[in-house]
Amino acid sequence: MEPSTSTCPSGDERVRLFGQLLETQARLSRDLGRELEDSCDLPLAWFEVLLRLRRSPEGRLTMTQIAEATVHSTGGTTRLVDRIEVAGYIARQNCPTDRRAIHVAITPLGEVKLNRALTAHVEHLERHIGQRLTMTERQQLSELLEKLQP
């Protein structure tokens, strides 16, 4: 027996909103990822790691920090980092203060690749977001998404 809509909150506006967020994120990730890979030969997951490394205060992150930032499992992060390292875009480094920790840093080749990818990515973002939302709407969306951050 199916629950009635009065006892099953599938029509709740919060459920619908969450669905919209997931659908929009999935579509943008798929479309922007495909465009990035087609134009720069760089998978979106690699781009995300390179960008996070560049943005990190020390220019490097631990494997755990990468896993947390990219929402991959530790095993998935290790495999991802392995592939990016083989391409020459990142390098593992021993932590000077903790022998057990390994840092990951972007290489000069990775910097060049990221710069090229960012140029293309900004063009893709303009097409998918910039042309669809006004500056005010983008600012409002940014503020609202920020409110949902922990």
Q: Which residue ranges form the domains of the chain, and what is each CATH number?
A: 31-147 (1.10.10.10)
97 pLDDT higher than 60: yes
For residue range 28-76, list pLDDT tens digits in order: 999 999 999 999 999 999 999 999 999 998 889 998 899 988 877 778 8
Measure Cα distances from 31 to 8, 27, 60, 96, 115 in Å. 33, 6, 29, 40, 20
Measure Cα distances from 95 to 5, 51, 56, 60, 99 in Å. 55, 21, 15, 10, 6
For residue range 101-138, list pLDDT tens digits in order: 889 999 999 999 999 999 999 999 999 999 999 999 99
Kindly report the backbone phi and psi dihedral angles of residue 103, in degrees, each rounded to the nearest multiple of 5, phi listed first: -100, 155
Contact 90, 49 (CB under 8 A): yes
Q: Say what the pLDDT of residue 115 is.
A: 97
